[in-house]
Every structure is written in structure tokens, then in C-alpha cells.
Amino acid sequence: MTAVSTAFPSCVWDHPLLAALDARARSELERAGSTRVLADGDNLFGPGEPADALYVVIAGEIALRAGRRNAELRRANVGDVVGEEAAARAHATRRHEATSVARTELAVLPAALVRRFMVRGEQAETGGRTQRWLTRALASDALESADFARDLPSRARDIMLDAGHPIELRRGDVLHREGDACAHVYFLAEGVVQLAADNSRVLAYHKAGDFFGDEALAAEARRTTATATSDAWIFAVRGDIVRDLAAQHPDALARAVRVQTAARAKQDGIRMNATRHVLDDLHRFETARSLLAIDQERCLRCGHCAWSCAEVHDDGVSRLLRRGDIVVAKMAGHARSLFCRAAASTARTPRA
């Protein structure tokens, strides 16, 4: 694997996401970017990693996989973009696993710079077309990796793309409340969504690849309250459209329901055997970039863990929250109290 600065070939700029950029923007991206070469089978990125760059294939091929089955979604060839989520918003995370097929050369474009040029062109007609292309590409990948939708023919997914719209949630945002009227079925592309009922009794957590809100298939009222426990990107599709497609492809719906039922049964098992802390902070274990486990019997409460975390960030702010419940784990046959905290992806002030 190598990385050197270089002028990019024309195939990089032919892609719809980059074709509208003017000469100045292209020049700046070339100066800030680089090329990267992968050998056959090398990993480019995996799910949950920070999405800080956009890639364009110059030579070779990249295979993208996602979902519970780690099924192959598509292959990116010369001129194709990989990692579009990096252009969608800051602090995005990777949704797929990307692996090289044979020797592959890529143009590496800093995501922050790409987003800046996209914002600059939003008022122009070309900027609007670029944003629409990006949204549709992200939604298409979401459907191809989601339960139910991935088992439909491509024409059926196109119908859902035309009948849907994206929803972005911040942590704590409520998507719908128990008793609300149903209008959409939701396909979760990124993040974690909690479903609760009866005064916040937690029923399930959904993560990337899940679909939920299937009450809309029967035109029922919402049975749960859905809350984002991390930043989330959701594609919402009209319930009547999904209902018609489910009637045409009952096997796809049946397989998806079986997968969802098995996942919820597994979560029920976790709820029976785990502490409240593990369940309530599931989003941290899903989205954290590192994890610190503290042995309560040896910890001196010196605070050096938080100070060290702060020192490695340019803003001098620790991402570590030193509070929460205790996880009791058996180690070598003996019960030990472990205080587990995941480092958050956003800056927070540490608390003792």
C-alpha cells in the first residue's frame, strides 16, 4: 500500500458527484488529496470507521459488503466513487466493508474539502443535481443492505427510492411516538434507534441494516416510541408502497420478519443477563472508536485516563465520560467489578 500526492486522471472528474466542480476546486482537491494503492484482498475501510475521505477508483476494483449476511452489494470499477457517506455530512461513519479485488489504485479526496465545495455550489442548478445524486446513492446502498429491501428485485427498490426521503436524526431526537399515525416504513442506514413503549419500557434496539415501523403495512397506529441513541441516517418509504411490494414479494417479507424476530429474541436475552448500564449505553459500544475497561479494585481515581485522552485531541477536551453503572464480569472464575466506558465520537467534558 502506498500514498503519494499526484494530479488525478480525468476519470476522477467524470463522476456525477465531482463533474460540476470548477477548475479551482479540482486544483485544490488535487493538492490536498493523494493516491492509494491496495494489493488484492486489502481492506480499504470497515463498518463504523470514521468517514474522513472519499475515494474514486483509478484502476482495479473494490467490492462493497454490508448487512447481517455480509452480502456483496456492488463492485466499484474505474471512475466509480467509494465511501459516498463521507460527502454527506461531517462525523459520518462507514456503512460498508470495502475490499480491493486485484491490485487497485484510488484517488483519495479529503471529505471536509469535498463538502465545502458542495456547499458552495448548492445554490446553483448543478449543485442541486449533485446533492440529489448523493442522496439517491446513499439511499440505494441503504436499501440494498437492509432486511426485506435487499431481497427485492432492483425495479422494486427503484420504486421505493422514488417514493422515499432521507431523515437525519441527532442523538436524542424522536422519530415517532407511541400512538402516532403511521405513514412510513423506515430503513436504518446508520446509527442506533431505540424502540420503547409504556413509559419508556425498552423493547428493542435497531442498527444499520434493520427496517422498522412495519405497523404502516397494516395502517395501524405506532405501537412504540422511536428515539435515536446516536446520530442516525434513515430512509423513509411510504407505507402504502411497501405494503404493495410486500404483497407482491411475500417471501422477502417473511425472511425479513424471521431475521427481525431472531434479533429481538437475542436482545431479550441480553436484557435478562446484562446490567442496565450495558443496555442503556448500547449506542456507545456501537459507535465508539475506543473502549476503556477499568478494574474498580485497582483504579486509584487519579484521573490520568481522562487527561491522556484530552492530550491527544487538538482542542484539549477529553472524550471520556467517567460515570455510569458497574458491569460485573467473571474473570478466571472470580467475579470482578469492571467500569466500562466507551470514548464518545464527539467532544464532551469529563465528569468524575
Residues 30 and 152 in one domain: no
Contact between 296 and 337 (Cβ < 8 Å): yes
Quote the pLDDT of residue 279: 45
One-character DSSP codes across 104-149: EEEEEEEHHHHHHHHHHTTTSHHHHHHHHHHHHHHHHHHHHTSTTG
Q: What is the pTM of this model?
A: 0.60
Choice between 330 and 92, residue whose per-residue pLDDT is larger:
92
What is the predicted pLDDT for the residue at 99? 95
Say whether both 9 and 129 belong to one domain: yes
pLDDT of residue 56: 95
Nearest to 59 by CA among 109, 107, 114: 107
**Residue 3: predicted pLDDT:** 47
Same domain, 217 and 138: no
- For residues 263 and 333, membership in a common domain is answered with no
The answer to whether residue 193 sits within a structural domain is: yes
Q: pLDDT tens digits, residue range 10-39? A: 999 988 888 888 888 899 999 999 999 999
Residue 282 lies in a domain: no
The residue from 91, 125, 143 where one domain ends is 143
- Whether 103 and 221 map to the same domain: the answer is no
Q: What pLDDT, on the 0 to 100 scale, is given for residue 324?
A: 53
Q: Within a domain: residue 283?
A: no
CATH no. for residue 154?
Answer: 2.60.120.10
pLDDT at site 32: 92
Domain boundary among 128, 143, 158: 143
CA-based torsion, 94, 134, 55, 61: positive or negative: positive
What pLDDT score was predicted for residue 348? 37
Confidence at residue 137, expressed as pLDDT on a 0 to 100 scale:
82
226 and 96, same domain (yes or no): no
Q: Residue 87: is its pLDDT beyond 80?
A: yes
**pLDDT value of position 321:** 61
Burial (CB count <10 Å: 0-12, 13-18, 19+), residue 255: middle
In this structure, the answer to whether residues 102 and 118 fall within a common structural domain is: yes
Q: Which residues pair with 195 in a beta bridge?
A: 204, 226
- Tell me the pLDDT tens digit for each residue of 245-283: 988 988 888 877 776 666 666 655 544 444 444 444 555
Is residue 334 assigned to a domain? yes
Q: Which of 266, 257, 268, 283 is nearest to 202 (CA)?
A: 268
My answer on whether 45 and 178 are in the same domain is no
Mean pLDDT of the chain: 78
66 vs 8 pLDDT, higher one: 8
| Distance separating alpha carbons of residues 242 and 228, to the nearest angstrom | 23
Task: Determine the Cα–Cα distance for residues 38 and 70; give it in Å rounded to an integer.
Answer: 21
> Which of 228, 249, 273 delimits the end of a domain?
273
- Alpha carbon 297 to chain centroid, angstroms: 36
**pLDDT one-digit tens code per residue, 159-189:** 999 989 999 898 889 999 999 988 999 998 8
Per-residue pLDDT averaged across 193-200, rounded?
83
Q: Give CA 236 to chain center in angstroms.
A: 15
Evaluate whether residue 352 is within a structural domain.
Answer: no
Region of poorest pLDDT, from 82-91, 184-193, 310-319, 320-329? 320-329
- Does any domain span residue 281? no
138 and 154 part of one domain: no
Residues 70 and 133 in one domain: yes
pLDDT at 218 over 80: no
CA pair distance 320, 314, nearest whole angstrom: 15
Count of domains forming the chain:
3
pLDDT at 5: 45
Same domain, 202 and 316: no
d(CA 165, CA 150): 18
pLDDT at 346: 40
Residue 277 confidence (pLDDT): 43
Distance CA 292, CA 303 (A): 13
Nearest to 302 by CA among 336, 344, 350: 350
Q: Which residue has the higher pLDDT, 243 or 351?
A: 243
**pLDDT tens digits for range 133-147:** 778 888 888 888 888
The DSSP symbol for 40 reads T
Predicted pLDDT of residue 327: 56
Range of the domain at 307: 288-342
User: Helix and strand tally (H, E) in the chain?
Assistant: 11, 18
Band of pLDDT at residue 211, cut at 50, 70 and 90: confident
**Sorting pLDDT into bands at 50, 70 and 90, what band is 332?**
low
331 within some domain? yes
Closest CA to 220 of 255, 167, 178, 258: 178
Edge-first strand order for the sheet with 232-238 is 164-169, 232-238, 184-190, 211-212
pLDDT class of 55 with cuts at 50, 70, 90? very high
36 and 136 in a common domain:
yes
Query: Phi and psi (nearest 5°) for 236?
Result: -100, 130
278 in any annotated domain: no
